[in-house]
Amino acid sequence: MVVNETAPTAKELMVVAAAREIGDGELVFVGMRLPLLAFRLAQATHAKNSIGLYENGLIRARAAASPVFTMSDDANVRHATSATDMLDVMGLLQSGRVSLGFVGAAEVDRFGNLNSTRVRGTRLPGSGGASDIASLAGRVAVVLKHETHRLVERVHHLTSPGHGDGGGWRERTGLRGRGPVAIFTDLAVLRFDPESNEATLHSYHPMSSPEEVAAATGWPLRKTADCGPTPLPRRDELELLRSFDPESFWL
């Protein structure tokens, strides 16, 4: 059942699915945009003891009390557990203490490599902290819009490493952590095959279909054995999520 008899939107499903990736007690590098909402939702529901890290140096053991649009908003700074600097939170990454990191990008490829640097001659903002997160977090979740020119066979530029060219690449190159474990989009959830490290279709949102997801993906998309519809948000999840973004700024 969903709140106000209104079905969840594709973006809302995307955020709820991402929030469910966060485990209770985990140290989470939150990132920007939709992950801000995913972390708040997780802390308010199943992951009350998770701790959020922000690239600007903030650490929060409790979510902000009012809507947050950027990580440096007053609402996010106020009552933060710690207001330190980028070096300190990046140090937690390097010491291997971060469980999960959220990242976005202009492109992600079939092995979870990310490009936020350059696409067909257009210069983009670059890595920021994404390469550090992708290299050092215990596991990585990618959040982006599902379009053929964004989910590509091979990224045009490798900004942040995923699984390189497939099975065993991270181990061979000495990268810490499991690397990307999931891609959350407005159409589906993709997860990475444990042997090949290739992104495969794990679930498709109810307003979509496996065929639509495959058509919007830039490589021949395989399905997991248990592939099915993405579970709908519970009433409390949807109600909370909408209260976190009452003006639908991100949603």
**CA 217, 132, 27, 180 torsion-angle sign:** positive
Question: Which of 53, 54, 58, 18 lies closest to 38 in space, CA to CA?
Answer: 18
CA distances from 170 to 77, 91, 187, 196 (A): 35, 21, 28, 12
Look up 55 and say whether it is catalytic.
yes
**Tokens at 134, concatenated:** 């992708």
Question: Which of 133, 137, 142 lies closest to 111 in space, CA to CA?
Answer: 142
Determine which one of 12, 21, 55, 107 is catalytic.
55
CA distances from 183 to 4, 158, 215 (A): 29, 17, 16
Task: Return the active site residues.
Answer: 55
